[in-house]
Structure 1
Amino acid sequence: MKSAAPWAALAFALGLLLIWGGASVPRGISGSLLVPPLALTCAGVVVRRSHPIASLALGTVGIGLDIAVGPSLATVLVFTDNLYAAALYGPARLSRWLLGLTSVLAVLAGAVTAFVAHDLRMVAVIGIQAGLVLVTPVTTALVLRQQRDQAETERARAEQVAHLAELDRQAAISAERTRMARELHDMIANHFSAIAIQSTAALSREDLDPATIRKIMESVRANSVKGMAEMRSMIGLLRQEGDEPDATRLRLADSEGLVERSRQAGMDVELRVDGAPRELPAPVDLAGYRILQEALTNALKHGDSPAKVHIAYKPEHVTLTVDNVVSDGQARLPGSEAGLVGMEERATLVGGTFEAGLSTPGPRGHAGRQQKWRVEVTLPAPVEEDVA
């Protein structure tokens, strides 16, 4: 903040010139008596920003003394700045109080002068002059104060809008990252889990004949090629501009392909479809396909044969159930539980429900009994009626 002392010194110097030039009401007194009131009002200019109330107090004392011995034009002009600073930089309540007080003083000054001079015309003359000296600085300060407060409010609002926009941007980025992570996990885990299990089996057994090894390697190659194809498809979707749907999107109706790949990986899978497969909304189709893919991947990694897949197309929704036997031993591949989270997220995003857990086990006391893991999903898919 710049100091107001130079402006106060300049006002004091110009005021002395006005006093020396006779810009005061002549009362036959020495002009030096007009200097102290001018000095007080100029001292108020020094503290006009840092202490506006003190500035008003100094100016009030100075103008009071000046009226008693003068008055002089220089002190009156500097006092207008004292009023202006108090109304602009002081408390808002003080500004409103000053506006009312100066208005009353201007009217009283005109009325008293008219009464003393026995001339009603003095009400307008003195009232207008007093209004220019007292009311105008306060009114100007109030207008500037309102504009300043409005500008600060708009600046705060703009900062808030920018902050909200940044939060929305971060939320969108986080949601997109989560979606991409879910897609990559579901896309890659199925193929590479099959590759890992098949290659482990081929390496751990030395009694396999060349035909069996060739069959395993063909399955490994098929899963590798399919995984690369899906990866290229996803990269293409990320690079494509616009919102045009992909013509080869993944559909739940293509579940036979997922089941067949699991069979090639060594998992005995039974597929049952109730109802006629129909066109589903794209998000529901993709969610159903990915959930089935991840459920079969988990069965391959953590369970034993057989696995049973049941898809039921109903009028208002589609249900997907995957049952597989859970082995008592260690899983063939480690898991991070990201698959369960991803399946639940997919179902929730399209308004469906998701449940996963151990189903009712066999009789107690049976050594080595088998438990079953069940994934059950319901996805909304109302039948669209044709409009004639």
Structure 2
Amino acid sequence: MLRDDLRTLWTEPRPPDAPARVRRDWALLAAGLAGVALEATLRENVVWRPVAVVFAVWLCLLPLWRRTRPLATVTLAFGSVILLQVATLVAAPREPVGLYTGAVVLVLVYALPRWGSGREIVLGGAVIVAACALCAFTDETPVVEKVVGFLFGLLPGVVGAAVRFRVTARERQLEQVRSREREQLARELHDTVAHHVSAMVIIAQAGRVLAGSDPSAAVEALDGVEEEGARTLEEMRAMVAALRDRGVGAELAPPAGVADLERLVRTPGGRIRVDLGLDGELDTLPPAVDAAVYRIVQESVTNALRHAVDATEVVVRVAAERHTVRVSVRDNGRRTGRGRDGYGLTGLRERATLIGGTLRAGPGTDRGWHVEAELPRARNESGVRTRPRR
């Protein structure tokens, strides 16, 4: 388990879209250089003043590349610290060499886990630990102070890792939301195309039957095919535009709902009559429930047009109760084949389940095919049906 975790850390890529430099970088550089100038001028007990000033300026410059080159900046900064410590061991000065402004190096400790890859974090962390260990070895302060100083030096790295984890978790959550949205739009596209293409086929069949006896009816059928085709293309363009990668928060056209059922059930060709009945308050349904009612009716009517043999009527009933919405679609035709559910019915069951409802589909007791759905008027955030309080 530990080996797998280390392998995962080692192969972790850098966060995408790391900014090169922003305004606060220049503000940090200006503050650091000003601090170096003031400390070098006003502080009297500076050991190796020229070396300390150059070293502090060097540390102030390195954060400019901390996001794009996190490992390189950490290696250069803490490698310089190691070299300086080795020089102090050889020369043995009376006081530590360096300026307090050199604490700007803690920014690099933060940047390494925040912007580095897994490999860079491991290698850079080793350099930081080596530098801290050498400083603790050469410093004559008590052990407790050394431990506290070591923990304080690593604290920015912990903060950087926490910030990275939070940002990554949010990006993954947004990506999941986008994936669910695209899956829903793909289902919408399938339902829309299937409905309109079925209508076009029925119009064309009716026109072919009437072409010999009534040419004007054939012309009307062609007009109907053209109208349905244009409507299909229009809805497909809208959905495909929404499916394109336009970023999170792209504005989407509102999906069809109960208000569009009247237009939906106007079946061209006259082969099957659709009897639509709406009952109850259907104007205030939540968007997800409103769209689900429309798609259930659309898919059920489309299946009746395509598969119901000798059917003359499809009865559609949508009734809104206090806490639920009931949808019923029944035809009086005969069914051929094995009756296995296709992608359409599977998608409808998934849609109903996601909003906390149920959907049943199967042959009627006497004849025809029945689709019954029960959807909640409201749902909680987890997608589980909300029960009314008593």
TM-score by length of 1: 0.53
Structure 1 equivalent of residue 370 of structure 2: 374
Equivalent of residue 283 in structure 2, options 265, 273, 279: 279
Question: Is the counterpart of residue 257 in structure 1 residue 263 in structure 2?
Answer: yes
Change (3 A) 1:379 1:138: same
Q: For residues 162-201 of structure 1, what are the structure 2 equivalents within 5 Å?
A: 162-199=167-204
Give how far 1:353 is off: 2.1
Change (3 A) 1:209 1:8: closer
Structure 2 equivalent of residue 92 of structure 1: none
| Contact kept in structure 2, 1:83 and 1:137, CA below 8 Å | no
Give how far 1:8 is off: 8.3
Change (3 A) 1:250 1:84: closer
Question: Is the counterpart of residue 327 in structure 1 residue 348 in structure 2?
Answer: no
Change (3 A) 1:225 1:171: same
Q: For residues 326-345 of structure 1, what are the structure 2 equivalents within 5 Å?
A: 326-328=334-336, 337-345=342-350
Tell me how far apart the structure 2 counterparts of residues 148 and 257 of structure 1 sit (CA, whole Å). 69
Tell me how far apart the structure 2 counterparts of residues 4 and 281 of structure 1 sit (CA, whole Å). 66
Change (3 A) 1:159 1:172: same
Tell me how far apart the structure 2 counterparts of residues 82 and 235 of structure 1 sit (CA, whole Å). 61
What SS does structure 2 have at the residue aligned with 1:355? strand
Structure 2 equivalent of residue 46 of structure 1: none
Question: Is the counterpart of residue 309 in structure 1 residue 316 in structure 2?
Answer: yes
Give how far 1:268 is off: 1.4
Give how far 1:338 is off: 3.0
Change (3 A) 1:326 1:159: farther
Structure 2 equivalent of residue 147 of structure 1: 152
Q: Relative contact order: is structure 1 or structure 2 higher (C-alpha 8 Å, sep ≥ 6)?
A: 2
Structure 1 equivalent of residue 137 of structure 2: 85
AA matched with 2:368: K
Give how far 1:190 is off: 1.0
Paired positions, count: 260
Tell me how far apart the structure 2 counterparts of residues 280 and 179 of structure 1 sit (CA, whole Å). 22
Equivalent of residue 351 in structure 2, options 346, 349, 355: 346
| Contact kept in structure 2, 1:251 and 1:285, CA below 8 Å | yes
Give how far 1:260 is off: 1.5
What SS does structure 2 have at the residue aligned with 1:196? helix
Tell me how far apart the structure 2 counterparts of residues 236 and 12 of structure 1 sit (CA, whole Å). 67
Q: For residues 122-271 of structure 1, what are the structure 2 equivalents within 5 Å?
A: 136-199=141-204, 209-231=214-236, 250-261=256-267, 264-271=268-275
AA matched with 1:380: P
Tell me how far apart the structure 2 counterparts of residues 348 and 82 of structure 1 sit (CA, whole Å). 62
Tell me how far apart the structure 2 counterparts of residues 152 and 318 of structure 1 sit (CA, whole Å). 54
| Contact kept in structure 2, 1:189 and 1:297, CA below 8 Å | yes
Per-residue CA distance 1:353-385 (angstroms, 9 max, x = gap): 22223334x5xxxxxxxx532211123348xxx
Give how far 1:191 is off: 0.9
Structure 2 equivalent of residue 39 of structure 1: none
Structure of greater Rg: 1
Structure 1 equivalent of residue 295 of structure 2: 290
AA matched with 2:223: E
Tell me how far apart the structure 1 counterparts of residues 150 and 346 of structure 2 sit (CA, whole Å). 56
Give how far 1:222 is off: 2.9
Per-residue CA distance 1:114-143 (angstroms, 9 max, x = gap): xxxxxxxxxxxxxxxxxxx85x25344223
Give how far 1:256 is off: 3.1
RMSD over aligned Cα, in angstroms?
A: 4.5
Give how far 1:174 is off: 0.1
What SS does structure 2 have at the residue aligned with 1:260? coil
Give how far 1:12 is off: 6.5
Change (3 A) 1:11 1:372: same
Tell me how far apart the structure 2 counterparts of residues 195 and 159 of structure 1 sit (CA, whole Å). 53
Tell me how far apart the structure 1 counterparts of residues 82 and 375 of structure 2 sit (CA, whole Å). 77
Tell me how far apart the structure 2 counterparts of residues 5 and 278 of structure 1 sit (CA, whole Å). 74
Tell me how far apart the structure 1 counterparts of residues 134 and 255 of structure 2 sit (CA, whole Å). 76
Tell me how far apart the structure 2 counterparts of residues 291 and 374 of structure 1 sit (CA, whole Å). 12
| Contact kept in structure 2, 1:253 and 1:277, CA below 8 Å | no
**Farther-moved stretch of structure 1 (201-210 vs 272-281):** 201-210
Per-residue CA distance 1:121-169 (angstroms, 9 max, x = gap): xxxxxxxxxxxx85x2534422321113322322221222122122112
Give how far 1:229 is off: 4.7
Tell me how far apart the structure 2 counterparts of residues 5 and 226 of structure 1 sit (CA, whole Å). 72
Per-residue CA distance 1:93-132 (angstroms, 9 max, x = gap): xxxxxxxxxxxxxxxxxxxxxxxxxxxxxxxxxxxxxxxx
| Contact kept in structure 1, 2:82 and 2:134, CA below 8 Å | no
| Contact kept in structure 2, 1:309 and 1:320, CA below 8 Å | yes
Tell me how far apart the structure 2 counterparts of residues 221 and 138 of structure 1 sit (CA, whole Å). 86
What SS does structure 2 have at the residue aligned with 1:173? helix
| Contact kept in structure 1, 2:242 and 2:250, CA below 8 Å | no
| Contact kept in structure 2, 1:272 and 1:310, CA below 8 Å | yes
Give how far 1:177 is off: 0.6
Tell me how far apart the structure 1 counterparts of residues 85 and 375 of structure 2 sit (CA, whole Å). 79
| Contact kept in structure 1, 2:265 and 2:276, CA below 8 Å | no
Structure 2 equivalent of residue 117 of structure 1: none
